[in-house]
A and B are shown apart, each in its own frame.
Chain A
Amino acid sequence: DTGVSQNPRHKITKRGQNVTFRCDPISEHNRLYWYRQTLGQGPEFLTYFQNEAQLEKSRLLSDRFSAERPKGSFSTLEIQRTEQGDSAMYLCASSLLEGGEAEAFFGQGTRLTVV
């Protein structure tokens, strides 16, 4: 499968615990995006990388959230001290071309449930 891969697919965690998600983009894609989707809403932008550089972060990305993309390949999204409000689907996407005309290809997401 050469699409965007996200792991794990599901994560249940207790409030206050830390969680980390991984995204493997399509090979050679230089842009990688993280989005969050809650029930009944469209995906909300969190952050994006060009190669290993994090170029933009949303106000939604509080100081408990951190994302990395070492070596410009896979990316990780960590949430520290999880809260119930963090429960959502976390989506990763990648694109190849520079500039806004390139479509983004999405993974199946990681569903986080904080209990």
Chain B
Amino acid sequence: AQSVAQPEDQVNVAEGNPLTVKCTYSVSGNPYLFWYVQYPNRGLQFLLKYITGDNLVKGSYGFEAEFNKSQTSFHLKKPSALVSDSALYFCAVRGRNTDKLIFGTGTRLQVFP
């Protein structure tokens, strides 16, 4: 069965510092991996995805994520956090034989000025 774990309910970081939001997954075969962000009263917005190839994926708003097959992880990163990055972040996985997207429970990112 597919599953996604986001071990941190909340991540706090000072503005200008690098940030990491963790995600590990469980799926048979090679996965498709996604990050979405949810701002208050707004829908989920797509940030980036890993399909194949380069393990470092770059996405919107300066975010990037690193796929690590041996650790089954897909951590979201940003070199320098902004206060406006404060939101709820969801990692999601889809196996190659299904169109069902499985989400983690989300990590709230709080960036302090």
Contact = CB atoms under 8 A, between A and B. Distances in A.
Given A4-B43, A109-B43, 8 more contacts: A31-B99, A41-B105, A42-B92, A42-B104, A43-B44, A101-B51, A108-B42, A108-B43
A43 B90 contact: yes
A107 B38 CA distance: 11
Interface string A24-52: 00000001010100001111110010100
Contacts of A100: 32, 94-96, 98-99
Interface residues of B, number: 26
Chain A's interface size range is 20 to 34
A105 interface: yes
A12 to B, nearest CB: 17
A106 B105 contact: no
A77 to B, nearest CB: 16
A19 B62 CA distance: 41
Contacts of B102: 45
Residue in A31, A41, A101 with the greatest tally of chain B CB atoms within 10 Å: A101
Interface string A80-115: 000000000001010000001101111111000000
Interface in B68-113: 90, 92, 94-96, 98-106
6 contacts: A42-B106, A43-B44, A50-B99, A56-B100, A103-B34, A108-B43
